[in-house]
């Protein structure tokens, strides 16, 4: 996994797409008000944009928030199956790792474009 999480870190996905212009304070507000969760407990809160090209992970570490951000140039993220109807649902770290490190390509044309960009 590209993140530095502990074995006890729990991961919560926000159910709705999020405006990826939101920063730490706005995402913290979503966790606290809509999710009614304590964002200062070291758990990670995952947000995905409407196009599924961007993913942000918010987490409190010792003395401040850390916001991880990954934006795909091609393809989009495959999201986990949503459980329940709460604003946030929990996923295992292995699921998050699979999501972050595997890309669902929209078409083979995107792969061809990427290969062309690399070889050019």
- Tokens found for residue 112: 């061809």
Tens-digit pLDDT profile for residues 71-118: 988 888 888 888 788 999 998 888 888 788 765 545 444 554 555 555
Tens-digit pLDDT profile for residues 72-81: 888 888 888 8
- Tokens found for residue 99: 């999501």
Question: Is the overall model pTM greater than 0.75, yes or no?
Answer: yes
Residues belonging to the chain: 120
Closest by alpha carbon to 80, among 93, 96, 68, 103?
Answer: 96
Q: What angle do CA 16, 18, 21 make, to 5 degrees?
A: 175
Closest by alpha carbon to 11, among 46, 60, 35, 40?
Answer: 46
d(CA 2, CA 28): 22
């Amino acid at each position: 996994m590209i993140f530095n999480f502990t074995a006890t870190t729990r991961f919560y996905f926000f159910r709705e797409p999020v405006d990826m212009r939101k920063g730490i304070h706005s995402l913290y507000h979503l966790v606290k008000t809509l999710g009614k969760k304590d964002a200062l407990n070291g758990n990670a809160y995952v947000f995905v944009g409407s196009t599924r090209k961007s993913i942000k992970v918010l987490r409190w570490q010792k003395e401040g928030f850390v916001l991880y951000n990954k934006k795909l140039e091609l393809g989009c993220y495959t999201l986990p199956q949503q459980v329940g109807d709460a604003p946030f649902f929990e996923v295992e770290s292995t699921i998050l790792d699979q999501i972050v490190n595997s890309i669902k390509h929209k078409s083979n044309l995107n792969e061809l474009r990427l290969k062309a960009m690399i070889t050019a």
